[in-house]
Amino acid sequence: MRALAHAASLLRRATACTPQVGAGGRDVPLLAKIFPNVYCSRYSTLSAPVNEALIPPELLSSKAVWTPDRELGQYEDLVSRVTNFHSEDKGFMVLDGDVFDVPIRKDIVHRVVRWQLAKRQQGTHSTKTISEVSGTGRKPYKQKGTGRARHGTLRGCQFRGGATMHGPKPRSHAHKLPKKVRRLGLKIALSARTAEGKLCIFEDLEVPSHKTKNIVQYIKQMDDTKKVLLVDGGDIDKKLKLATQNLHYVNVIPSVGLNVYSILQHDTLVMTRDAINRIVERMHTPINR
């Protein structure tokens, strides 16, 4: 911490002071005198002097910062590496730009997620009306002469055990969403995972046995992975299904069931070649009117 405080104080002095006049009438910044090994006339590199550490290494992050060298969402075809659970090189695959490189729009993703969650609601909530609640139908007391409020039944909503007025009844919460918007939402979710570098392409999802420890070991090999979604092209292999059913952070679905909400719930998306080909084919299929 002393070295970091010393470096910060020197940098503040360098930025606050005026340049010094050197040989030839040129201004020599004070930063060049303080850090002769760091300063350069046009470029600067963060290299520490030989005898002194500019910033302690324990304060520096060892994680590589990925900066894209191109603008995202340009509908450009992408080339991705194909591997498997054993990190073996299986070649390359071209990802269609109109599916995996579309502009990110949060409003479209929000609409699709709301549509999915509303559609899966059961809607089985129900309350009893005055005709359904249990109780007698006689008048509790005479209309006049008691000094009390007039009532014709004890099953009203103002009595204990009475009916519920304007309460919920079984219904469907689903609402319509255009197919173009649904399709665009899936493209945006796939493009977001691709831009983040969280889309892994496997040749297949074959595992040697149904043991859960194999999947646990494979997931540990992935960098910065907390929850994984495995997507296969056809039916899920029985061994893979048994190996992942006890892991709450690993889910397996076929390509037919791939949706926006499932992609957003998992930080890493693993797809096979067959799954990607089927998804691209589905995205290119004309929409039936």
The tens digit of pLDDT for each residue in 59-89 reads: 555 555 445 566 777 888 888 899 999 888 8
The predicted pLDDT at position 38 comes to: 41
Tokens linked to 111: 């609409």
Q: Of 165, 202, 179, which Cα lies nearest the Cα of 112?
A: 179
Report residue 9's pLDDT band, with 50, 70 and 90 as the boundaries: low
Residues 6+ apart with CB under 8 A from 122: none
How far are the Cα atoms of 88, 152, 241 from residue 210, in angstroms, in the given order?
A: 21, 68, 8
Under a CB-based contact definition with an 8 Å cutoff, are residues 222 and 268 in contact? yes
Distance CA 31, CA 20 (A): 10
Under a CB-based contact definition with an 8 Å cutoff, are residues 82 and 90 in contact? yes
Report residue 37's pLDDT band, with 50, 70 and 90 as the boundaries: very low
**33-42, 180-189, 190-199: which has the minimum mean pLDDT?**
33-42
